[in-house]
Amino acid sequence: MMISYPLTRAHRLQLARSFSSVPQVDISIDCVIEDQMGRAYVDSVDNPQLWMIEQDQFFCYYAGDFSSPAGREFLGQTPSGRMLMAGSPGWHDAVQSVFGERLMRLKRWSYESRSLRVEHLQQLAAGNPHTPAIQKVDTALAAVDSPYLSIGGFESPEDFVQRGIGFCLPKDNRIIGGAYASLVCSDAIEVSIVVDENFYRQGIATALACQLLLWCLEHHLAPHWDAANHESCRLAEKLGYTYSSEYTAWYLK
């Protein structure tokens, strides 16, 4: 059985220990351990042996021994329409044995932000014609219903402005692109960049990303970059990120 795990201080400490061997492909695990965003589930509140962390009812992360019947049963309770991101050693084999053809295999790429340089980002921003029009997201902009500025992981527009950060590009009274924190923890954000496809390849994503990354560096936050496609990889490298690793995630149909 998959049971909601209250995020008490003792439980968050247990989560940190349980997920210590799980690859940190993004900051989702840290967000839950700090009780900033996301939820945790276990097989038993009193004596948990199996754990799942979930972000935004989509991204899932697992800890525990999933080679046992109990482990496979726990995995099998994962709702469909989820992205299975990372787990304890042996997790890949268990996932494939439980879900089989319901899984869609997806490659993703992690990048390291310590190589980012303020001077390089400033140069990119200065040479980009969209930079002057970019706006920092305030409460009014955060409240706009736009597919290019999604703050669903936050409690409200006010919460986003207090805990998150974002920049957008308005055009003709609508937002055509956004770069923002989709996740936040004490020392990092998860970078999300979305641009209207009618405005692709015009340098908008670069201009938006530069403002977001410069803000992060100024405020001593690591802007975590997890790429789901080659376009995202190319942009990360243009901005000054260093390639870290490739990994496999699974979409559960």
Average pLDDT over residues 31-47: 97
Give pLDDT, residue 153: 87
Predicted local confidence at residue 135, as pLDDT = 97
Question: What CATH number was assigned to the domain covering residues 110-246?
Answer: 3.40.630.30
Topology agreement, domain 3-108 and domain 110-246: yes
pLDDT of residue 152: 83
CATH superfamily ID and name for 3-108: GNAT acetyltransferase-like (3.40.630.110)
Asked whether the predicted pLDDT for residue 1 surpasses 90, the reply is no
Per-residue pLDDT of 26-35, as tens digits, reads 999 999 999 9
Summarize the confidence of residues 162-189 as an average pLDDT: 96
Give percent of the chain above pLDDT 70: 100
**pTM score of the predicted model:** 0.94
Residue 47: C-alpha distances to residues 39, 44, 50, 140, 247 (Å): 18, 5, 9, 45, 31
Q: Is the per-residue pLDDT at 157 higher than 90?
A: yes
Q: What is the per-residue pLDDT across 57-87, written as a single tens digit (0 to 9) for each?
A: 999 999 999 999 999 999 999 999 999 999 9
For residue 73, what are the β-bridge partners? none
How high does pLDDT run on average in the chain?
Answer: 96
| Rounded distance between C-alpha atoms, residue 58 and residue 252, angstroms | 10
* Radius of gyration from C-alpha coordinates of the chain: 19
In the predicted structure, residue 176 carries a pLDDT above the cut 90? yes
CB 212 within 8 A of CB 179: yes
Q: Which residues contact 168 (CB under 8 A, 6 or more apart)?
A: 134, 135, 137, 141, 146, 148, 149, 175, 177, 178, 179, 180, 208
Query: How many other CB atoms are there within 10 angstroms of residue 219's CB atom?
Result: 9
pLDDT tens digits, one per residue of 188-242: 999 999 999 999 999 999 999 999 999 999 999 999 999 999 999 999 999 999 9
Q: Domain spans of the chain?
A: 3-108, 110-246
